[in-house]
Amino acid sequence: MSKFSSFNFSGHKALIRVDFNVPLDKDYNITDDTRMTATIPTIKKILADGGSVILMSHLGRPKEGPTDKYSLKHLVKHLYELLNAGHTNPTFGDGSTRVFFADNCIGDQAVLTASMLKPGEVLLLENLRFYKEEEKGDEAFAEKLSKLGDVYVNDAFGTAHRAHASTAVIAKFFPAEKRMFGMLMEAEVLSAEKVLHGAEKPFTAIIGGAKVSDKILIIENLLQRATDIIIGGGMAYTFLKARGGKIGSSLCEDDRLQTALDILEQAKQKNVSIHLPEDSVIADKFAADANTDVRPSDAIPDGWMGLDIGPKATGIFNEVIGKSKTILWNGPMGVFEMEKFQAGTKAIAESVAASTANGAFSLVGGGDSVAAVNKFNLASKVSYVSTGGGAMLEYFEGKILPGIKAVAG
């Protein structure tokens, strides 16, 4: 049993670092609440034990201090609804969970409300990043935050790679037995560890996205572990050009051509199969209404660009995925936000889901691939969907994440 599961929070005030950095539209409506819903089980376990909860998070990247645009007050109503999903028209006093908001994370209101919080109640603090001290990892700021609760729970995998006050510094102000990971963080680390250190072979890593430079470290680390690496998205064209292919005006990092060749050579030496798309859906401009065609990925005419993997590539990739026992997917195969260029990414998502149904363990992580499985309603058909984009990337690069080290030691 995990430390969190076995801890009795009765009478305790749990200070939880969550990742409520959710996208909002111009009217401050939440457009994707995945990160909020993911941490609800942690909050509910503490409340069910008879504890109270103080939530701290950031939202966006405010540069000018407090601004309405980045205020967490916009999340209070939805948080209340998530915590009281079983109640119809919940009102105070009917057994529903009360949610309070402090308009400052370390001010008098926060201190007073936290001190008066009763078991079963929740306090959401204002955006941590309204203070520059948060991102600087300021110790005095972390200590002020720590005084609001008597148990520290880190449930924010999405910020675990940041050495910030609320993620990496605050833990030192709590004794070892009173600092722990929440259920989301535990599940994230468990899933990542399973892929990194306990992967059943064949192990296929599907790496997409625009730039090779963003994924060099993860590919190099996976070369030690994977049996197959599928490369799609814009970054594939850097590899194709490096091999002498004609890629038209497709995305390419010319300063990374040698890097691509080095990776291909390393893979050959380690007996890892790297799969590049044999054909591509090409377009005469980067637009939803572009003219399209299908051509070999290394014979794209001048003025045309590859914006998705083609049917032949899809078939080959599906075959590799179908034989896999472990699958890691980070990054889309094309510009799936445009209907004309989403077939490749959708097919890969369906293939990963089918392989999972046949017993493979699949981990999907990184903003765009998560958005893709959500778009195609396949999130429930894979083994685990990670909430941490940058954090997951750094974890798979083999880096030690400050937010994990602070709690686990």
- Active-site residues: which are they? 35, 211, 367, 390
Beta bridge partners of 134: none
Q: What's the count of helices (H) and strands (E) in the chain, helices before strands?
A: 15, 17
CB 372 within 8 A of CB 349: yes
What are the tokens at 354? 């089918």
Task: Give CA–CA dist 291/286, Å, rounded.
Answer: 10
Max Cα–Cα distance, the chain, nearest Å = 71
- Indicate the pairing of strand 273-275 with strand 179-181: unpaired
Query: In this structure, how many other beta carbons lie within 10 angstroms of the beta carbon of residue 237?
Result: 29
**Residue tagged 């998560």 (tokens):** 370
Task: Give CA–CA dist 123/319, Å, rounded.
Answer: 50
Task: Give CA–CA dist 323/316, Å, rounded.
Answer: 11
What are the tokens at 46? 């503490």
CB 280 within 8 A of CB 313: yes
| Phi, psi of 155, deg, nearest 5 | -125, 25
Task: Give CA–CA dist 235/214, Å, rounded.
Answer: 9
Task: Give CA–CA dist 148/141, Å, rounded.
Answer: 12
Is the CA virtual torsion 103, 105, 110, 115 positive or negative? positive
Write the CB contacts of 75 (distance below 8 Å, at least 6 apart in sequence).
20, 22, 30, 36, 59, 124
Q: How many angstroms from the chain centroid is the CA of residue 60?
A: 15
CB 66 within 8 A of CB 130: yes
Task: Give CA–CA dist 378/367, Å, rounded.
Answer: 15
For the sheet with 273-275, list strands across it.
273-275, 228-231, 203-207, 326-330, 361-364, 384-385
Task: Give CA–CA dist 199/175, Å, rounded.
Answer: 34
